Structures are given as C-alpha cells and as structure tokens.
Amino acid sequence: MSAQATRRSFLSGAALGTGLLLAGCRRSGPSETPADVTLRIGNVLADIAKDHTISTIGYNGSVPGPLIRLREGVPVTVDLFNDTDAPELVHWHGQIIPAEVDGAEEERSLPVAAHGHLRYRLTPSPSGARFVHTHVMPMADLARGTYTGQFAFVHIEPKSNPGRYDQEIFLATHEWEPFYTTAEEEEEEPGPPPPQKKDETPNGWEIGYQRFTINGKCLGHGEPVGVKEGQRVLFHILNASATENIKLALPGHRFQVVALDGNPVPHPAPVDVLELGTAERVDAIVEMRNPGVWILGTPKNDDRSNGMGIVVEYANKSGTPRWIAPPKTPWDYTMFGESRAAPNPDETIPLVFGKINGGTGGFNRWTINGKSYDAKDEPRLLHKGQRYRLIFDNQTDDAHPVHLHRNSFELTNVWGKPTAGVMKDVVLVKGFRKIAVDVTPAMDGLTLFHCHQQLHMDYGFKLLFNVV
C-alpha cells in the first residue's frame, strides 16, 4: 500500500459509485457478481528491508493489506477467501455491526474455513479510522494471529466531510520475528507502588521482536513521506502490533490530535509525542513548517535502529534524516476531553484485572474479577439503551490496551480525573491505574471485551457480554 492517498484519488474512487478503492482485489468467481470488498488471506513475502524478507500471512498479497475505503451507512458486500490451511476470523475493529460478521469466535461470528470462501454484507459505521485484522488465538504459536501481517486500514468516510488538510497519510506500525523473553518492559512513568505480593512465582513469558516497521518497511527502506512546506498533513496512525504499546514523535513538528480511534475529540490539542496502545488509532494534523529530512519514529533508540520509523522528506530537501529526542511529556487522554463530569450511569460494573504469574518458561494467566475466560460461562447481560460505567481497575504491573467490540465508549475518568466526550474502542490502562468508561450498547447480540495484547487475550483476559 502506498503511504500517500490524496484527496483526489479518493474522490475519483467515490465517483465509481462504491466509495471504495481496493488495490489488487480479485473477482469471486464467474458465477457471482464481484464483491465491493475482497480480502484474500494467504502467504505473503514482505521485503521489510534490503535483503530482508519476512514470510508471513497477509491480505491480498501485501503488508499491510490494501486500504479499504467505505462510506458510512452505505452497505457493501464482502468476500473473504482463505488460502491457508487453518480457519480464520476477520474482525472489523471499531465498527458497530452485527455479531455474525464482527469476526470473533466468542461472538459466534462466521469463520472462513481453511481454503474456504465466505460472503456477507455489512453496513459500515461509525465513520473514521477503523481497521481489519485476524481474531484467531495463536496461543504459543508466534506465526499466527496478530503476529502475522493480517491487518489493513479501513477508512469510513462520514456522510459529510468537513476535514481541512492538503494530504492524507496512513501509517501502521508492526513488529516482526517475535521471540520469547523473560525481560519485562519498564514503564517510563511509574504508577503508584505495587501492593505487597503474596505470590512469589516469577513472571512468565514476554514477547520481544527483532524487526520493527511502519507500513511494512524498516526505517530507511520504504518510500519517504513526501511533504511540501506549508502543507497541513493529516496522519492516520494505527498501532497494528500484536503485543507492543508504542510512542511516536516527529522532531521539529507537533501533532495536532484531532481524533482518537477514529472519533473526533472535543478539544484537538498539540503534542510532541503520540502514544498508542495495541490497536489504538490516532488522527493528527501536522503543519509542515520546518523544511528538511526528518525521522518520524519511536523515541526508543533500540527499536528505532531496528526499524520503527519512516522518513519525512520536504520537497527539494535531501541529506541524512534527522532525529532529535523529544521531550518526555506524558500522554494524557483527558487533555482532548471536556473537563466536566459525564452523566450518571444506570449501572456501574467494576472490572478488576489480575495476573497469575506463570513462572519461568510458563505463560502468565490473566483474570477479570478473579476469573479467566471460560467459554462455558454464561455471558453477562447488558440492556440496549442503558448507560453502563465500566471501571477498569488494573491490579497488575502491566499496561493493558483493553478493547470492547461492536461499541464506542466514552472516557469518564482517567487516573482519578473526570473527563467527558472522548469516544474510543480501545484504552490503555497502565499498571496499577484505574480508568472508567461509559457505554450505552447500541446493538443487541454477543459483545466481546478483551485485552488487545495477544498473549494476554489468549491466556484468559476476556469477558463476554450479551446485549438484549
């Protein structure tokens, strides 16, 4: 996928009547009319750097998969072809669509069989930066699930588009060549001190990576993002990692954050550093007023030298891309919200996150309210139209990017600070912190809540709701 999609290319796509641009899409078969969206799941050889090719699974032969442009409320037919030897699930992350097509096993969504084909219709909603990714649980197999290249941007155009920008750039981060490690990630901004631990079992496996990419290329190996002085560039950034929460900076520039998880924020605000938990999206406008050749990348030096970055190049400028370490200002969701209390909920549901250490060579297990997910348990009932306050109470030392399917929720309290108006579908709850969100379920059916860190999800960090 090209990093650069101009307004003009989108408009010409819209003129075709489908509002959709899909590179490399294949026809479904001679007997059927072509679908509006076709995703073919299969092996991909991704050249992430010079003389460095990754063999993985992806969509339509590329990593990331093709940019899928949809229009809010305009139904589309979707064709899924699975050229692999294992069943797959394609999850439409951040959309409010029926459980049958949402793409999660727990919700009893339709799988696409090994070497099988699945066709269905869906009505895209809500507008904004969404994405599509596999929802299988690879457990210990680091060659499946979100460790692979099965992810692609889904951009849902609003019914009316008030956006004011000169150029639109889609950037997705992803790591490769995962390995098991016992090293734990240090948090830069330590939270409250951990309570005394009774259990002295050591921490279990964590995941490390050899290579880091943006749009499937290590820093310096892809096409630079070409900009002109004076342009307003809208960046759509997606953390398509299996397990990593990341930070990104563009030295000499600031990001004006205008939307989180695709939803416009009440108070757009400038920041030096973006932070995205796994599966989070940020839309930010950058005014290009500092001509040169720059690195947009992670402040973590090791990860940046292993590839986590992309070059931003002004027209008629050349030279070695520059990196300057950004200030260490903490990310704060509430700066984009309204400083008022949200309306009172009809019901409050505490969700306490716990960890049972796996010991050396074992997997940690994760609990919500003292229990790991069990498919035999009855889902917890929610009523459509009721306002629920979910209290995410993280009693572990890990950060958890927690995700609610088929809904957007409103942040109402972050680390003790009331807020309102920020709508998201993933929120990063740091170690020993609390975040409260309100949700009014919009559509009935099974609705999965889980940590988006693949290893946490696979080892118990899930809870199933049923909206009636």
Which residues here bind Cu ion, judged by CB under 5 A? 400, 451, 453, 456
Residue number with CB closer to Cu ion (204 or 216):
204
Q: Considering beta carbons, is residue 91 or 400 the nearer one to Cu ion?
A: 400
What separation in angstroms does the CA of 34 have from each of 20, 37, 467? 13, 9, 34
Nearer to Cu ion, 46 or 207 (CB): 207
**Judged by CB, which is closer to Cu ion: 79, or 175?**
175
Q: How far is the CB of 239 from Cu ion (least distance, A)?
A: 14
CA distance linking residue 113 with residue 61, whole number of Å: 19
| 257: CB partners within 8 A, 6+ apart | 265, 268, 269, 270, 271, 274, 282, 283, 284, 336
The residue whose two tokens read 């997910």 is 373
CA 429 to chain centre: 15
Measured between its terminal Cα atoms, the distance across the chain in Å is 40
Q: Which residues pair with 134 in a beta bridge?
A: 90
Rounded to a whole number, what is the largest CA-CA distance in the chain? 65
What stretches of 378-465 show up as alpha helix (H) in DSSP? 454-458
Contact 333, 430 (CB under 8 A): no
CB of residue 430 vs Cu ion: minimum separation in angstroms?
A: 11
Q: Report H helices in 15-140.
A: 99-102
Q: Name the token pair of 415.
A: 């680390």
Angle at 204 between CA 199 and CA 210, to 5 degrees: 155
In the complex with Cu ion, the residue whose CB is nearer, 94 or 354, is 354
Q: How far is the CB of 457 from Cu ion (least distance, A)?
A: 7
Least distance from Cu ion to the Cβ atom of residue 1, Å: 28
Nearer to Cu ion, 435 or 451 (CB): 451
| Minimum CB distance to Cu ion, residue 327 (Å) | 28
Q: What letter would DSSP give residue 107?
A: G
The distance of closest approach from Cβ of residue 135 to Cu ion in the complex, given in angstroms and rounded to an integer, is: 16
Q: Which is nearer to Cu ion, 157 or 393 (CB)?
A: 393
Tell me how far, at minimum, the Cβ of 453 lies from Cu ion, in Å. 4
Q: Output the DSSP codes for 304-361.
A: HHTT-EEEEEETT--SSPB--PPP-PPP-GGGGSBSSPPPPPSEEEEEEEEEE---TT
Q: Of 248 and 451, which has the nearer Cβ to Cu ion?
A: 451
What's the closest the beta carbon of residue 401 comes to Cu ion, in angstroms?
7
- C-alpha distance from residue 360 to each of 183, 335, 400, 415 (Å): 11, 40, 21, 32
The nearer residue to Cu ion, 39 or 451, going by C-beta atoms, is 451
Nearer to Cu ion, 5 or 451 (CB): 451
**Distance, CA of 68 to CA of 61 (rounded, Å):** 14
Least distance to Cu ion from the beta carbon of 171, Å? 24
What does the alpha-carbon distance between residue 166 and residue 289 come to, in Å, rounded to a whole number? 14
CB of 452 to Cu ion, least distance (A): 7
- Number of helices (H) and strands (E) in the chain: give both, helices first: 4, 32
